[in-house]
Chain A
């Protein structure tokens, strides 16, 4: 499905609707360039999963963990050189923990995915407009 948003808060709201029904263990692979709204979307996912508190960019730490009814693991692969380095950040361990994994910059780690993931692609269609394509998953709430 293709969705269009016109502001950061609309992108966040879409993220909330997207995450509301996601099963534990779901991997959401996010694709899109700098400034496309990926972190805003994941912030919305956290809200949709009943997680309060600040959701900030994980670029520096690679992964931020958020506790909630379903835990959310927010990855940013921006600084990773390839799938080899997934091992060093404990990717397999996170998969085994049964939370929802939201993965920014999935472009950088094709080896992380098995085909079971939900794919979310972000494209800028204007300064504030975004086209967000979601493939797989249970659909929006």
Chain B
């Protein structure tokens, strides 16, 4: 089954062609990061407008890359939630039009389910059940993936997402946007014991919930104190200490959940999975505890449409299709 898939929930406009949920025939991405870096963040109006400009071009290019024609498309899948509403709407409306014009089913896909499904593309043998930590600029959640479309959130951030903590800390440290990559690069030159940052404690009854807002505030305090005393903060040391603090929280919660629920397979998904400290800590923890780690390659960790095509296939098999009244949503439960 050949699925044309569209992703437009934030910075990236992407269109892909995926066969049977596992085989990527084309994976076209247009990134708006260069545009947005001028503003220090994502500007939704610009995001929506550029999505609109490139989505059809990307679709044509995907068909060309795959050597297929429109007649070969069996279904159209798109991200319908969550994200910047104006941006998501562009992908949803393109997908609706394409499905209507081609006379094929329309499949709505939850963006985070797509990130989880990136693992199916990277690891052909991986099947549910497994435990998945989904970490991005807007989301941080630990997901119990019981089946391809049967999953529940075990724990989540109570305030800021892990990626948001990195982005805002990077901005405080003058590293630009998006801040994840420069922060990661800088951290590798620093000592992770330079600053004693808080390990976010979460009060309440869910042991898998997380919090990152306090970490961001601690970074603000360190930078301000340094400014007030006329000293420069040890920026590589601060970056390394921050990566360590975030990683210890994420890896700790995930390994606790894996032990409690008896999961042998652990997957990581989302753009923050690209962080080298988090990857290294997960590898070490899984080796220590005898669990198997799945982390998609960098290209599949960021937003892309191939992952939407992968999850779209399994949503289709589960009968999850939509009509032309499909709407886009800024927020949506998994």
Contacts and interface: CB of A to CB of B under 8 A. Distances in A.
Are chains A and B native binding partners rather than an unrelated pairing? yes
Interface of A: 8, 33-35, 39-40, 43, 54, 56-57, 59-65, 78-81, 84-85, 87-90, 124, 127
Interface of B: 10, 39-45, 48, 82-86, 137-139, 156-161, 164, 168, 171-172, 213-214, 216-217, 219-221, 224, 330-331
A75 to B, nearest CB: 11
Given A56-B158, A61-B331, A62-B84, A88 B213 contact: no
B43 A80 contact: yes
A79 B44 contact: yes
Contacts of A43: 159
Given A57-B160, A65-B330, A88-B48, A79 B217 contact: no
Contact of B44 (A8, A56, A80): A80
Contacts of B330: 61-65
A131 to B, nearest CB: 15
27 contacts: A8-B213, A8-B214, A34-B168, A34-B172, A39-B159, A39-B213, A40-B213, A56-B157, A57-B161, A57-B213, A59-B168, A60-B10, A60-B138, A60-B164, A61-B82, A61-B83, A61-B331, A62-B84, A78-B41, A79-B39, A80-B43, A81-B39, A81-B43, A85-B45, A88-B44, A89-B86, A124-B224
A40 B213 CA distance: 9
A59 B160 contact: yes
A64 B331 contact: yes
Nearest to B86: A88
Given A54-B156, A60-B138, A84-B45, A65 B161 contact: no
Contacts of A90: 85
Contacts of B86: 88-89
A93 to B, nearest CB: 11
B250 to A, nearest CB: 16
Closest 4 CB pairs of A and B: A60-B138, A79-B41, A35-B217, A35-B220
A124 B85 CA distance: 33
Contacts of A61: 82-85, 138, 330-331
Contacts of B139: 60
A90 B84 CA distance: 11
Q: Most chain-A CB neighbours within 10 Å: which of B10, B138, B171?
A: B138
Nearest to A65: B331
A34 B220 contact: yes
Contacts of A65: 330-331
B196 to A, nearest CB: 13
A65 B333 CA distance: 13
B136 to A, nearest CB: 8
Nearest to A86: B45
Nearest to A54: B158
A99 B69 CA distance: 48
Contacts of B216: 34-35
Contacts of B40: 79
A87 B44 CA distance: 10
A85 B219 CA distance: 30
Contacts of A40: 159, 213
B109 to A, nearest CB: 17
A22 to B, nearest CB: 22
Nearest to A89: B44
Contacts of B224: 124
A81 B137 CA distance: 19
Contacts of B44: 62, 79-80, 85, 88-89
B191 to A, nearest CB: 23
